[in-house]
Structure 1
Amino acid sequence: MIITRTPLRISFTGGGTDLPAYYENGYGAVVSTAINKFVYITVNKRFDNTIRLSYSKTEIVNNINELQHDIAKACLNMVGITGGVEITSIADIPSGTGLGSSSSFTVGLLNALYTYVGEHLSADELAKKACEIEIDILHHPIGKQDQYAAAVGGINYFSFERYGAVKREKINLSDADIQLMNQKLMMFYTGIRRSADNILEKQSEETKNKLPVLDFMKNQANEMKIHLKKKGFDETFAEMLDAGWQKKKSITSGISNQEIDELYERALQAGALGGKLLGAGGGGFILLYCDEQYQQDVRKAMSLRELDFNISRYGSQVVYFEG
């Protein structure tokens, strides 16, 4: 049996510039971090040659082509496993909430399957193969940031080059800054789940009309990287979150709505200094920067379920192996 643990991610700035509709005109850039909320994948040999796949539902099939889960089917095909395997998936957070769970699932499953057949892939190789599956094979209208964040872990600056290459620059914060980040960042669940594909498809279509907005977000990722490296984690970070969120909302109508705008405004009035909606938009989690003395007021103002989380230093890992 093999078990992998793969982190979810928070994107701080630059989201949307990792879409090919944007970076093929130059380059895109994102600053993001992995968090200690995970997707767990188990892979085990079955007694017979069927495939059993358990996620939000369970499939038992005789042939790989009978699988309904498109990502699992593509991963099995890529690794070359045709049967005799059991796969289960458990996640700390539901899908469709803006934390990159789909890509974490893909990275984690590939990590488990390649380990199962005796191959070890680097984090970069896992991310590349996950992008190939989600973008090139399955044609999901998504970018590349989630796969790399899930594979490598930690706080990073990623640049997405014109011809498809992805470059990573690790942002090494001090232990004190990471502790501040863990203390001052809050996350609340709006209760709204949505398909990122629909929003991202619209965003790709609008890219040519929103180049100044996306340029701002890319440049902001560059500025955030420099600021974090030189000055560390402080209130400027909150200002950047807010400025980026205000810009992102203007890309397409599905990114925000009246309910989300009102929630965010309540948080600011209660003492939060800045924040954003995570992921493609439309629902999921709201991230806030808030000093500790105002956090209880923000909790009362939001009246939403809060998710306690910390920064995760590690990407996808094999946490259990028994041959």
Structure 2
Amino acid sequence: MDFAPEGPSAVITPQTQTHRFRRARAQREAWTQPLFRAKAPLRVSFAGGGTDVPPFPEREGGLVLCATINRFAHGTLRPRVDGRVRVESLDLGMAIDYGADEHVDYDGQLDLVKAGIRRVSQLEEPRGIDLFLHTAAPPGSGLGASSALMVALIGVLRDHHKLALTDYEIARLAWEVERVDLGLKGGLQDQYAATFGGFNFIEFGPGDVLVNPLRIRPTTMYELESNLLLVFTGRTRAGDHIIEDQTQRYEDSDEDALAGLRMQKTLALEMKEALLRGKLATFGSLLGVAWEEKKKMSPRISTPVIDEAYDEAIRAGALGGKVTGAGGGGFMLFYCTPGTRHKVAARLAQMGLEEAEFAFEETGLRTWTYVEG
């Protein structure tokens, strides 16, 4: 149907009035649709990484010491009435669109999101939605970005479907989507860190995870922030080869890999005690020991660039440091003696490693609903 033009001198016909009314109502409904939002923090891991990767926790029990930081994965969900699902990744500059009841293949196009939506759809009837996603670090950065994104996604889907999920259930569901449904290699700490937030000492056993929040004194936390330096190596981890190699060496009873993994548990305990007692010089030194033991787990964990950066940081005043994730790239974390952090940062900047400012984040997954008044 054709409508009359809507300029200043246009004739207002009944058809034009109806068209304007429908358009205004559609615009009003779009503005008044609820927005479901979520944010989940990224994390830095101090010790124990690798002991949360199966089959180690089932056989020997894993221990991880980690803390969340003020970098987040964000999710926004807006309901639709047409039964379509549209997902837009602001980081990747990618969007997908499909019917809520359609079978969707995992083809490399936002598979993480598709798998999360599919898993929740098994709990509730599929619905049309618009999803907007953004993360403060790319996958493979070593900060648990992919898992934080999955936690944020489950957070908005939970609220939209009014599901009664506890924090443990959210973290477990996020882990199942990544590791079981998609078969992505990795451990369990990232999903639990993003969901619970803060400083945590996490225990992993056969079919069980226990998150122990740590009561770190504020002065200890502030001093730790002042002396820790987070830098980006310039590249992310490529693929799952490091984790696969580490797991195979454990399965083959490689002596170095076994020693490195088991020492991670001891160091996680010692570093937890140092944090609780405010012994940060001890904590900083143990951070370096944790890195030396981590490298035993696989020769692929470090690279010449990482080795050189570590040596230069120590010479400039760092007590110890390590890669924050599986290795091969991503972010590195250094503990610097008081008064030397700027020198370490300057030396690493000369090598092309960019400093990333951060503070600790004490809250995990947050969700809220907003309706335009």
Q: TM-score range by the shorter chain?
A: over 0.9
| Structure-2 separation of matches of 1:138 and 1:222 | 32
Distance in 1 separating the partners of 2:300 and 2:348: 22
Does the aligned pair in 2 maintain the 1:181–1:233 contact within 8 Å? no
CA RMSD of aligned residues (A): 1.6
Check whether the contact 1:28–1:159 (CA below 8 A) recurs between aligned residues: yes
User: Which structure ranks higher in relative contact order (CA pairs < 8 Å, sequence separation ≥ 6)?
Assistant: 1
Q: Could you say which residue in structure 2 is the equivalent of 1:133? A: 177
The number of residues matched between the two structures is: 321
Out of 221, 224, 227, the residue aligned to residue 178 of structure 1 is 221
Residues 26-175 of structure 1 aligned to structure 2 (within 5 Å) = 26-55=60-89, 56=92, 57-62=94-99, 63-66=102-105, 68-80=109-121, 82-161=126-205, 163-175=206-218
Structure 1 alignment gaps of length 5 or more: none
Greater shift after overlay, 254-263 or 131-140?
A: 131-140
Q: Is the 8 A contact 2:233 2:329 kept in 1?
A: yes
**What TM-score do you get using the length of structure 2 for normalisation?**
0.83
Sort the Cα spacing of 1:260 and 1:146 in 2 relative to 1 into closer, same or farther, 3 A.
Answer: same
| Offset, 1:216 | 0.6
Cα deviation, residue 167, structure 1: 0.9
Deviation at 1:168, TM superposition (A): 1.3
Q: Separation in 1 of the partners of 2:159 and 2:309?
A: 44
Counterpart-to-counterpart distance in 2, 1:196 and 1:221: 26
Contact 1:111 1:121 in 2 (8 A): no
- For 1:233 and 1:43, the matched residues in 2 are separated by 44
2:44 equivalent to 1:10: yes
Cα separation, 2, equivalents of 1:244 and 1:136: 29
Percent of aligned pairs with the same residue? Answer: 34
Report the TM-score, using the length of structure 1 for normalisation: 0.95
Q: State the Cα distance separating 1:41 from its structure 2 match.
A: 0.5
1:238 counterpart (281, 284, 300):
284
SS at match of 1:20: coil
Please, which of 242, 250, 255 is the counterpart of residue 296 of structure 2? 250
Contact 1:153 1:312 (8 Å CA) reproduced: yes
Partners in 1 of 2:130 and 2:86 — Cα distance?
Answer: 5
For residues 109-167 of structure 1, the C-alpha deviation after alignment (integer angstroms, 9 at most, x for no partner) is 01110101112422111111111111222222211000000000000100111x22001
Q: What letter matches 2:158 in structure 1?
A: Y
Identify the residue that residue 188 of structure 1 maps to in structure 2. Answer: 231
Query: Cα distance, 1:239 vs. partner?
Result: 1.0
1:311 equivalent to 2:335? Answer: no
Greater C-alpha Rg: 2
Return the alpha-carbon distance in structure 1 between the equivalents of residues 118 and 305 of structure 2: 42
Choose the corresponding residue for 1:259, options 285, 300, 305.
Answer: 305
After superposition, the Cα gap between the structure-2 partners of 1:87 and 1:121, relative to the gap in structure 1 and judged at 3 Å, is same
1:25 aligns with one of 59, 67, 70:
59
Cα deviation for residue 196 of structure 1 reads 5.2
